[in-house]
Structure 1
Amino acid sequence: MMKFWRRKAAAAASSTAAIVVDGARMATGGRARTRVIMTMAVFFGIYAAIAGRLVYFGLIEPDNGSGPVARVTASRPDIVDRNGQVLATDIKTASLFAEPRRIVDADEVIEKLSTVLPDLQVEQTYHKLKSGSGFVWLKRQLTPRQQADIMALGLPGIGFRTEKRRFYPGGPTASHILGLTNIDNKGIAGLEKYIDDQGFADLQATGLAVAGDLQPVRLSIDLRVQHIVRDEIVRAMERYHAIAAGAVVLNVKTGEVLAMASVPDFDPNNPFNALDKDRLNRMSAGVYEMGSTIKSFTTAMALDSGKVTLESRFDATRPITIGRQTIRDFHGKGRVLSVPEVFIYSSNIGSAREADVVGIEGHREFLHRLGLLDRMQTELPEVARPTEPRIWKKVHSITAAFGHGFTTTPLQTAVGAAALMSGKLLPPTFLPRSEDEADAVGQKVVSDYTVESMRYLYKLNATKGSGGSGARAQVPGYRVGGKTGTAEKVVNGRYAKNVRFNAFVAAFPMDDPQYIVLSVVDEPKPEKPGMAATSGLNAAPIVANIIRRSASLLGVKPEFGQEGEATLVSTQ
């Protein structure tokens, strides 16, 4: 009996042990599955957080410390000439940046970058890379070759950002007119600055300057004529060993500037020397005594006063002495001169007597009326203000009669000459302007009689055999007329005999002038030993070459068989 119960107890014990083992196994397996699920949930949570942060950083606007703001890559409108030829446009370029927090070895990065960018500023770049900031520019506007070479270096923490930069296909051809943009593609000079000042900068700032919506800005400039003008003044500067030269072509009927250049100039694609003193735009941003070209206005003033006609005569037998000033003629005739003789012989004495007839106040008023003494109004920002005596006395009027004692810009001189050829003063423009629009803004400044008389005198002065100084400006078929100006420059407070600023102002065709061409040569030297360096020998040939090469492009047809002496058409 006892054996039976022992067997039953053993069986029960064995059964209980099996149940305990199976329960333990089930409990252990459940906990393992829970741990796996929890681990997976943690990993999914981590990756979800990372993904969320990536999306967040992709959507937020960059601050000043994390990269360039949007306006850096703002678009600009193309600038085109009157025929649609592109003068300035935007192109895409890559700029190099670094993330200093990701830079492990700044010295190694600089050493490798220097193999591609030899002009890299080592000390400055080192401080940037060790700054610990999130973003720094290293080099803006790389070439494609530089970008490719830097990418090949495989440097961590170094990247590129696509930006826009301004590109000028003509290089320096129209640099003083077009101007410049800065590293952020904002206009800082020339018509680029003018465009920004007309409200475009505000469009950029508000993000509304979208490339696809920007219409090209059309200028009055003819790129073909612009190329000719610059080519001629570059040659002249070399030929006459001058420190500078310049020229402008102006439409008499509309006031449009067809071409204007001043050398030395600069390449706006690489404007490293644009701010050098000798790169000044002498045509609009420099003021000079324009010498005998001013006698055009003195004679016109006398004729327009009604007190003088072409038949009037002035005594030029002896010099004029006033105070400490003695007025002499360069090549005096020593006799009484008619008005045409005063003009073609460029008599200082005769011009002084013409001014004396009008009087001091009348003289000053006429120069203001022709725009020579006021700051010129035009689109180009670089415009100098003329200078004049604070108080005019008789000596000031007499010296101003032949171009001494006040300064103005060459462009203003051309504008004033255009008024003498048409009777209307038109503010110059670098944008297209029709004749109807010109009529609306023009002001009648001289009489028809004065206009016809000045046309006659211009033509006479450039006619071979007349004794005038403008004979070298003649171009067969185009009936050119004009006036020379050889001005002594002031050096150390005194006029220097051998330091000159030469000019020649011309109009063509003289029966009904359509264009004014004015050239200047700053401090020319004799072309050959023994030769003079007057404007008739250097400034006038520049004008002749410009007209010869560009007249047909301007739509002026040559007419032969009418190259005889100048004739006066009376309007009285």
Structure 2
Amino acid sequence: MKYSIPFVPSSGGFQWVADSVWKVEHAFERAHVEGQTQENTAQRIFFILALIACMFAVLMIFAVKAALFSGVDGVSGAPVSPGARSELVDRNGALLAADGENFILYVDPTDMMASDRPLVKRALIQLLPDVSLETIDKALRGDGRARIAGWLKPSDRARILNYGLPGLIFEPVRVRTYPLGITGASYIGATERGGKGVAGAERALNDDIDLSIAAHGGVPVELAMDLRVQGALENELRAAAVDQQAQGAIGIVTNVRTGEILGMASWPEYDPNRAGSFSENEKKNRAAAAVYEMGSIFKVISVAIGLETGTASINSVFDARAPFKIGSRKISDYHAENRVMTLEDVFIHSSNIGVSQLAESVGIDTMTKFYDNLGLFRAADTELYESARPIIAKKWTASTLASTSFGHAMSISPLAYAQAFGAVANGGYLRPLTVRKHQPGQVLDGARVFSANTSRQMLDLMRINGIRGTGTRANAPGLRVGGKTGSAERVVDGRYLRSSLFSSYVAVFPTDGAIEDDRYMVLIMVDDPKGSKASSGLRTGGFVAAPVAGRVIDRIAPFVGVARKEDKFTQAEWDKAPVVAEVQSGAQSVPAPPAMPVSGGQ
């Protein structure tokens, strides 16, 4: 008689192995009973043991795979529901996003008396005013359960249950909730109802957040955002946008050493808990997904390139006594100084003439190589999916180069500008912007674009502009703020419209300290200001955006650990220096024709 070991599919795999082992243990006894030789029996036993070992190995492989990849929480061992996501928290652990429950409401008329139906109907009409009478009637006339409302909040469910109505069935559904509503909406992003991230950090870090993919056991995912910084930024940006009756506004705060985005705001705002109630324009993250001509804040980059190449020094002189000619085109300054200016004067007075001459001396090949090295010819280096690509000239000419030097003829996203600015202010390294929190000891990526000396000179130059130039309204006391204003004219039908501006200010603080220290950039941009200040003609970056940056800096300094103190630029002779007149220039969103005459820049 031959013995076989049956495998019963309905039995557990490990039980089958145990049964098999038992049978092997009694193989010798069976062999003696049937008169088989010892050698034959040994061969059979060896074969059976080898088969059992193979099957056990297969079972173990499937068990490990199930534990790692089949939706089991690696910490608790609990099954992971489809679409389940980790909590999102800010860098200090404050909750930003979490999974919750909503409910779908069904009515089953077979679970109620006929006399109950009119009562149930009246109650549902009162409790669910958004549900049509036709839907309720159809459900009550049916012969089984029918859905009448979806995505009810727990509070809605409790309110309906309090009525004690028969025949109602609530089915729970997973939903992503954002406890802070509009706060950080553009930064945090949103998910589709199935759970997958569709925007912001929710999409950018989806593989870390989605528990069916992530291997971290469901621990909260930390963002680089500081909720205190984000709140102050949004509060001040919102107030300015409303006061100025602006079409839009943008605010970004970064640590220029690490590239972490501590705050990012876009106005108008929206609540991701009610995303369907807002337009695409309201949900658009203008900091990442829109491109603009930067105007004169771009001169920070142009002057840094001039210093780095050795084309100019702080004391180099530029003849601004007459408009700068490129072929038939004339480049003028809005508030012409009509004099020979040092590079410091060019920066403080925001001279288009001077910076155009500087760009010409650097040359097209070198200037565009720096633009490329600064990431300006691609979307910003960040995890954000919506990071927009720039609009750049197809052909570079002397006229195009001059225009880009003062913020024309090239449209980039505010995030792309923030990344390039970081290389100017952090000692010279181009570092990717990130929505992830950097961990202690984490190695920082980044290619060197500028020398530490160029970075130091630019920090001092921006500080001087904050004391003596058009950035004085951002000069938060004791926080050593530097920066640059910009007021770009919008492009309408291919021409610059002086009556419509894109007003901006980029600030950095503190400007002193070791070049490798943490320091912070604050970028404020207001699209088409026309409110209380604008009505008086004060629509430029120094009047509209710089005060917002100053208030943000004043509020966030304690959160980022910057203490107030004096610096070398706060001596009496600096404080008494006259403030330079405000000027404007530029364009927004669409590059203007290179041959088109433009006025001076600020």
Instruction: Tell me the TM-score normalised to structure 2 length.
Output: 0.75
Q: Does 1:230 align with 2:240?
A: no
Cα separation, partners in 2 of 1:162 and 1:454, compared to 1, 3 Å: same
> Please, which moves more after superposition, 265-274 or 382-391?
265-274
Letter in 2 for 1:292: S
**In the alignment, which of 409, 416, 426 is matched to residue 412 of structure 1?**
416
1:481 Cα shift?
0.4
Residue 547 of structure 1 and its aligned partner are, at CA, apart by 0.8
Question: Aligned partner of 2:185: which letter?
Answer: S
Q: Which moved more, 1:518-527 or 1:423-432?
A: 518-527
Compared CA separation, residues 278 and 94, structure 1 to 2 (3 A): closer
What is the aligned partner in structure 1 of residue 101 from structure 2? Answer: 92
Q: Report what 2:480 is aligned to.
A: 479
Larger Cα Rg: Structure 1 or Structure 2?
A: 1
User: Structure 1's 384 and 131: CA in aligned 2 closer, same or farther, altered over 3 A?
Assistant: farther
1:87-142 C-alpha deviation (Å, 9 max, x unpaired) = 11223333213458879999966664232111124556767777877664632233
1:113 corresponds in structure 2 to 124
Matches within 5 A, 1:57-456: 74-98=83-107, 112-122=123-133, 136=147, 138-149=149-160, 152=163, 154-156=165-167, 158-198=168-208, 200=210, 202-203=212-213, 213-323=217-327, 325-422=329-426, 423-434=428-439, 436-439=441-444, 441-456=445-460
Residues 380 and 419, structure 2, Cα contact 8 Å, conserved in 1: no
CA distance in 2, matches of 1:320, 1:131: 82
> CA 1:533 to 1:145, structure 2 compared with 1: closer, same or farther past 3 Å?
same
Give me the whole-angstrom Cα distance separating, in 2, the residues matched to 1:389 and 1:381.
24
Aligned with 1:88: secondary structure?
strand
SS of the equivalent of 2:100 reads: strand
Query: Which secondary structure does the structure 2 equivalent of 1:553 belong to?
Result: helix
Q: Which residue of 2 aligns with 1:525?
A: 530
Question: Are residue 559 (structure 1) and residue 565 (structure 2) matched?
Answer: yes
Change beyond 3 A, Cα 1:526–1:150: closer
Q: 1:461 maps to what in 2?
A: 465
- The alignment of Structure 1 onto Structure 2 pairs a total of residues equal to 486
Query: Does the CA-based 8 Å contact 1:96-1:137 persist in structure 2?
Result: yes
The residue matched to 1:437 in structure 2 has which SS? Answer: coil
Consecutive unaligned residues of structure 2, counting only runs of 5 or more, are 1-78, 575-602
Aligned to 1:65: none
Given the superposition, is the C-alpha separation of residues 488 and 435 from structure 1 closer, same or farther in structure 2, using an over 3 Å criterion? farther
Change (3 A) 1:124 1:356: farther
Structure 1 CA distance for aligned equivalents of residues 173 and 483 of structure 2: 50
Query: Matches of 1:107 and 1:394 in 2, distance apart?
Result: 81
* CA distance in 1 between partners of 2:532 and 2:511 (Å): 30
Q: Does the 8 A contact of 2:233 with 2:552 survive in 1?
A: yes
What is aligned with 1:500?
501
Judging changes above 3 Å, is the alpha-carbon distance between structure 1 residues 271 and 71 closer, same or farther for their aligned structure 2 residues? farther
Cα 1:128/1:501, change in 2 over 3 Å: farther
8 Å contact 1:72–1:185 — kept in the other structure?
Answer: no
Cα 1:327–1:340 shift into 2, 3 Å:
same
Paired residue type of 1:373: F
Query: How well do the aligned residues superpose, as a CA RMSD in angstroms?
Result: 2.8
Task: Give 2:59's aligned residue.
Answer: none
Higher deviation after alignment, 507-516 or 269-278: 269-278
* Contact 1:87–1:170, Cα closer than 8 Å, also in 2: yes
Aligned match of 1:542: 548
- State the Cα distance separating 1:252 from its structure 2 match: 1.6
Task: Write the distance in 2 (CA, Å) between the matches of 1:73 and 1:112.
Answer: 34
For residues 368-398 of structure 1, give each alpha carbon's deviation from its aligned partner in whole angstroms, at most 9, with x where no partner exists: 2112221112122221111101121221111
2:486 corresponds to which letter in structure 1? Answer: G
Task: Give runs of aligned pairs for residues 42-61 of structure 1, distance below 5 A.
Answer: none
- Provide the rounded CA distance (Å) in 1 between the counterparts of 2:133 and 2:211: 34
Counterpart Cα distance in 2 of 1:71 and 1:434: 27
Work out whether residues 512 and 567 of structure 2, in 8 Å CA contact, stay in contact via their aligned partners in 1: no
- Mapped partners of 1:129, 1:114: distance in 2: 12
Q: Percent identity?
A: 35
Distance across 1 between alignment mates of 2:147 and 2:196: 21
